[in-house]
Structure 1
Amino acid sequence: MLTLLGVALFVGFLALGTWQVERRAWKLALMERVTDRVRAKPVAAPSPAQWPQVNAAQYEYLPVTVSGQWLPQKTVLVQAATELGAGFWVVTPLQAADGSQTLINRGFIPASERQAWLPAAGAPADTPDTAPQTVTGLLRMTEPAGGFLRDNDPANQRWYSRDVAAIAAAQGLEQAAPYFIDQGLPARPGSPAAQTWPRPGMTVISFHNSHLVYALTWYGLALMVLVAAYVIVRWEKRQARLPHKTPSAE
Structure 2
Amino acid sequence: MYRFLLSRQWVITTIVALALIPVMIKLGFWQLHRHESRVARNDRIGHSLAATPVPVSELTRPGRPVPGEDVWRRVTASGTYDTKGEVVVRMRTDDEGKPGYWVLTPLVLDDGKAVLVNRGWIPANGAQTQFPDVPAAPSGKVTITGRLKADEQPGEGVKDTKGLPPRQIMLINSERQAAQLHRPLLGGYVELAEAVGKDQPQTVAPPDHSSIGPHMAYAIQWWLFSAFVPVGWFILVRRERRDRAAAASAEASETETASAEAAEAGTHA
Select between 107-116 and 60-69 the one with higher mean Cα deviation. Answer: 107-116
Greater alpha carbon shift after TM alignment, 225-234 vs 133-142: 225-234
How big is the shift at 1:180?
Answer: 1.1
Partners of 2:99 and 2:117 in 1: how far apart? 20
Alignment of 1:80-119 (within 5 A): 80-84=92-96, 85-112=98-125, 115-117=132-134
Q: Does 1:137 align with 2:137?
A: no
State the partner residue of 2:206.
203
Tell me the TM-score normalized by structure 2.
Answer: 0.67
**Do 1:101 and 1:173's aligned partners in 2 also have CA atoms closer than 8 Å?**
no
C-alpha displacement at 1:6, in angstroms?
3.0
Are the counterparts in 1 of residues 28 and 219 from structure 2 also a CA contact under 8 Å? Answer: yes
The answer to whether the Cα contact below 8 Å between 2:62 and 2:187 also exists between their aligned partners in 1 is no
User: Is 2:230 the counterpart of 1:213?
Assistant: no
| Contact 1:182/1:203 (8 A) holds in 2 | no
Q: RMSD in angstroms over aligned alpha carbons?
A: 3.6
Q: Please state whether the residue corresponding to 1:180 is helix, strand or coil.
A: strand
Counterparts of 1:220 and 1:106 in 2: how far apart (Å)?
48
**How many residues of Structure 1 are paired with residues of Structure 2 in the alignment?**
228
Calculate the TM-score normalised by the size of structure 1. 0.72
Where in structure 2 are there 5+ consecutive unaligned residues? Answer: 1-11, 256-269
Aligned partners of 1:8 and 1:161: how far apart in 2? 44
Deviation at 1:8, TM superposition (A): 4.0
Looking at structure 2, the residues matched to 168 and 16 of structure 1 have their Cα atoms a distance apart, in angstroms, of: 44
Who is 2:231 aligned against? 227
8 Å contact kept, 1:40–1:62: yes
Please list the CA deviations of residues 117-147 of structure 1 after superposition, one character each: whole Å capped at 9, or x if unmatched.
399xxxxxxxxx9733322111112232145
Task: Tell me if structure 2 keeps the 8 A contact 1:6–1:225.
Answer: yes
| Unaligned 5+ runs, structure 1 | 120-128, 187-193
- Is the 1:80–1:160 Cα contact (8 Å) retained in structure 2? no
* Paired letter, 1:20: Q
Aligned partners of 1:107 and 1:202 also within 8 Å: no
Specify the alignment match of 1:152 in structure 2.
Answer: 160
